[in-house]
Structure 1
Amino acid sequence: MFGATRRWFRRNRTPIAIGLGVVGAGYVVTQYVLSKINDARERMSSERIAKENLRRRFEQNQEDCTFTVLALLPTATTNILEAMNTEKITYEIQQMKGSAATRAARSVGSLSPPSVSEVTNATDDDGRSMISLQSESGVHASQMVSDASSHAPKEAGEQPASKVRKSKRQLWDELTISAITRAYTLIYTLGLLTMLTRIQLNLLGRRSYLSSVVSLATGSAQATISLEDKDNDNLEGAYGTDFDVNRKYLTFSWWLLNRGWVDLMQRVEAAVREVFGSLSPRETLTLSSFSSLTDQVRKRVEARMPDGTSSTSWLPFLLPPRDMEDMVLRESGILEDDAHAQTAPTSAPPSPASSASLRRLLDETADLIESPSFSHVLTQLLDAGFSLLLNNKLAQAVFDVAPGMQAAGGPGGTGQPLSSASSASQQTNRAVLLPKILSVLTRQAHAIGNGMPNEYLQEMEAVRDLEGFAAVVYSSNWETEIAASQDAAAAAAPASQVSSSPPVAAGEESVVVVDQTGLFESAWEKASA
């Protein structure tokens, strides 16, 4: 029996060997395929967590931008409201009207009847317009008195001998220019501040994300990327690893809030004088005519091209010249803080603007500001702001246009009538006196700069291309930033900590694989579409 079995195996040894080889190879191949499938599954899971992490970080950045704009805007608003004190001009006109009324009353009480000119001056259309302006702007006489008295010392210092008395027409012209310029300057300032803040915080957010990735690649102690922001307790961890550079970089918003708005206001005022300077207080305007005049102002301020794009260089309003960068840091108090932090300085500290990291951030910010995408998105933000002012606030408060009867606004922010053509045409063609329009602009200036919630900021942030632009900023120049971060991390990390395969953390933390083409590289195209 055993001999027969041996003979059978001897005769069939070749097929048996082949069969065993096939089975063994199949087992090996199966294990290999299973291992590859497991690796692919783990890699897909890591990439999914990485994308979710990046998305959540990006969304948190945009929320931070909103709060930052709301925190910084009151500084510029205070400066603009003090520079263009429309309420003070209103009070001066009111005083002049009060004097005319007093003279008319005295004439009535005297033996002789009042002159025609005195009665006319006391009850003319300008007087009625002035009453309307005061009541509808929400500014009372007591507020104007206190405001005027607060500026009295300065005026007394400038003109100690006598004060030049302006005519009624001069005051009305000043009021027209001041009310329009102030409201429009605040819209431009809000749009520029929104764009600058998006650039700054998204550049720092990108640095933070890539620093975390590089720390994983170098096997440093903090070799995980947390998906939680931990309530922003660690500002250094939330926006990069160099707190001093980040603080100095964010300080450059000081330029727009304290210097840039001056040049911007002068540019807007020149355009307003050219367009609105010839109007009298008895002038009547329709919504469409006032919107057309506003569009002319915008074309001059933004140097609008035939295709609707802006050719204005916004960089001088947002960032200082290179030779004034140190001045910005001194004026903002950053250098004083650094001087107090140095307990025993042995030599003169290097120029704060000479830091390579800070220089790279400022140069990239300037490049983004001068890009066509910046002008494109800023134009849309301004369209949204002017559309809200004209087609919503002015249309409803001045021209009695019902909500929904006006358009959302075109590229110029003027808008056109919508449905119910006959009714809408009657409302939008209704003519009102210029002072009534000025009263709403005076009130809306405070809403633009100090509104809580700020409807104008909400309208601008609803522009879809703004998020697309932020995504492009967040995902741009990753290769350069990775190289710089790798050099810094490699220099800081001990050689024993460097490993070619960083560990994978369990739970909500994992190694993040950076797609060098950018996870948000198509965001701009999607937003534009």
Structure 2
Amino acid sequence: MKENVCYLFEMIFVLFSIVVSQNFFFFPPQTPLAPPEVQQQYLSSIQHLLGDGLTELITIVKQAVHKVFGSISLKHALSLLELEQKLKEIRKVVEHKDSDQVAPYSPLCHYLMPDEENPLATQACGLTERDTATIKLLNETRDMLESPDFSTVLSTCLNRGFSQLLDNMAEFFRPTEQDFSQNGSVNSLSSISLPLAKIIPIINGQIHSVCSETPSHFVQDLLMMEQMKDFAANVYEAFSTPQQLEK
């Protein structure tokens, strides 16, 4: 079952894009506010996302996909509406909080940075207790990731990504001439179905298409979102002066 690959690509790409955007505003190229050593240590903190965070996310996504699709035969046909509902079920499992989770922020933050009880020194290569600037940035980054604004931006980006995926998938659910001849008012969203065995390679093809685009239209679409621009502006305002780093 390859839907987990599609979901994982969307999730990792959005998270990585937001982290990189934050890093740009921490270290503007014109007037860098932190020395190169601090920049390197801070940027290395995203290794958690590409290491343990990625491994854990893959596991969670696989479990969610198995829960939703595990009992469905590859011969079973799904309409586009049914496929959309299945993707929503996967997202609900992965993105929503457990009943015993009291934290107000998105559980997806766990994949970006280690849990708060873990020593901050493990979040960047070579970090020591004397590197107060790096520790400051890591703490501030955690605060941002746990903020309602970040949860809103992340959710909006994921909605946009899955919406784009379904829009692209709709091209493969168009009614044929035979469908029109049998029923002149065919609704491709609910009337046209494809076997799961055919849907899987189509989704895989969408992943390769998005990854191979240069420049990526998906990236540009995310960057132009008002929520993303507003969030980036807030980050810049908070960290654009040396005084902010010295607090």
TM-score (norm 1): 0.41
- Within 1, Cα distance between the matches of 2:136 and 2:124? 17
Partners of 1:483 and 1:271 in 2: how far apart? 41
Residue of structure 1 equivalent to 2:231:
469
Could you tell me which of 456, 468, 485 is aligned with 2:218?
456
> 2-side partners of 1:483 and 1:434: how far apart?
53
User: Aligned pair 1:445/2:220, yes or no?
Assistant: no
Say if 2:105 and 2:147, in contact at 8 Å, map to a contact too: no
C-alpha displacement of 1:366: 0.1
CA contact (8 A) 1:187 1:448 kept: no
Residue 443 of structure 1 aligns with an amino acid whose one-letter code is G
**1:199-237 CA distance string (max 9 Å, x none):** 2221233xxxxxxxxxxxxxxxxxxxxxxxxxxxxx5x5
Give the secondary structure class of the aligned counterpart of 2:187.
helix
Q: Measure how far apart 1:436 and its partner are.
A: 1.3
| Change in CA separation of 1:238 and 1:259 when aligned onto 2, cut-off 3 Å | farther
Question: Which residue type is aligned with residue 78 of structure 2?
Answer: L
Distance 1:365 1:424 in 2: 50
Alignment-derived partner of residue 78 in structure 2 = 285
SS in 2 for 1:278: coil
Q: RMSD over aligned Cα, in angstroms?
A: 2.8
**Counterparts of residues 155-234 of structure 1 (less than 5 Å):** 176=1, 179-205=2-28
Runs of 4+ in 1 over 6 A off after TM superposition: none
Report if the CA contact (8 A) 2:157-2:222 is conserved: yes
Structure 2 gap ranges (5+): 99-103, 176-183
> What's the offset of the Cα at 1:261?
1.2
Question: Aligned pair 1:430/2:195, yes or no?
Answer: no
Q: 1:269 to 1:369 in 2, by over 3 A?
A: same
User: Where does residue 267 of structure 1 map in the other structure?
Assistant: 60
- Following TM superposition, by how much is the alpha carbon of 1:292 offset from its aligned partner in structure 2, in angstroms? 0.8
| Distance (whole Å) between structure 2 residues aligned to residue 390 and residue 482 of structure 1 | 46
Q: Secondary structure at the match of 2:56?
A: helix
**What is the CA-CA distance between 1:353 and the residue it aligns to?**
5.3
Does the 8 Å CA contact 1:239/1:246 hold for their aligned counterparts?
Answer: no
Per the alignment, do residues 454 and 466 of structure 1 end up closer, same or farther by CA in structure 2, a change over 3 Å counting? same
The corresponding residue for 1:297 is 90
Distance 2:190 2:34 in 1: 55
Rg larger in structure: 1
Q: Which structure carries more relative contact order (alpha carbon 8 Å, separation 6+)? A: 2
Q: What's the counterpart of residue 35 of structure 1? A: none
Q: Read off the aligned partner of 2:137 and give its amino acid letter.
A: L
Alignment partners' CA distance in 1, 2:245 and 2:153:
30
Contact 1:198–1:470 (Cα < 8 Å) also in 2: yes
Q: 1:484 to 1:462 in 2, by over 3 A?
A: closer
Output the amino acid matched with 1:370.
E
Per-residue deviation, 1:184:
0.5
Alignment size in residue pairs: 234
Q: Which amino acid aligns with 2:170?
A: A
Q: Choose from 305, 320, 324 the match for 2:114.
A: 320
Per-residue deviation at 1:426?
A: 3.8
Distance apart, 1:373 and its partner CA: 0.6
Q: Can you list the C-alpha shifts for 1:158-205, whole angstroms capped at 9, x where unaligned?
A: xxxxxxxxxxxxxxxxxx2xx110110110001111111122221233
The amino acid across from 1:193 in the alignment is F
Percent of matched pairs sharing the same residue: 25
Structure 1: segments with no counterpart, 5+ residues: 1-175, 206-234, 336-350, 402-421, 488-529
Tell me whether 1:399 sits opposite 2:180 in the alignment. no
* CA gap 1:251/1:311 in 2 versus in 1, 3 angstroms: closer
Q: 2:45 aligns with which of 252, 258, 274?
A: 252
CA pair 329-368 structure 1, distance change in 2 beyond 3 A: closer
Contact between 2:26 and 2:239, CA under 8 Å: does it hold in 1?
Answer: no
Between the aligned partners of 2:188 and 2:144, the Cα distance in structure 1 is 45
Structure 1 position 328, deviation (Å): 5.1
1:269–1:364: structure 2 CA closer, same or farther, 3 Å change rule?
same
Query: Secondary structure, in 3 states, of the residue corresponding to 1:352?
Result: coil
> How many Å separate the matches in 2 of 1:276 and 1:283?
11
CA distance in 2, matches of 1:329, 1:365: 13
Q: Secondary structure at the match of 1:285?
A: strand
Tell me how far 1:321 sits from its aligned partner.
4.5
Assess, with a 3 A threshold, how the Cα gap between structure 1 residues 423 and 202 changes in structure 2: closer, same or farther. Answer: farther
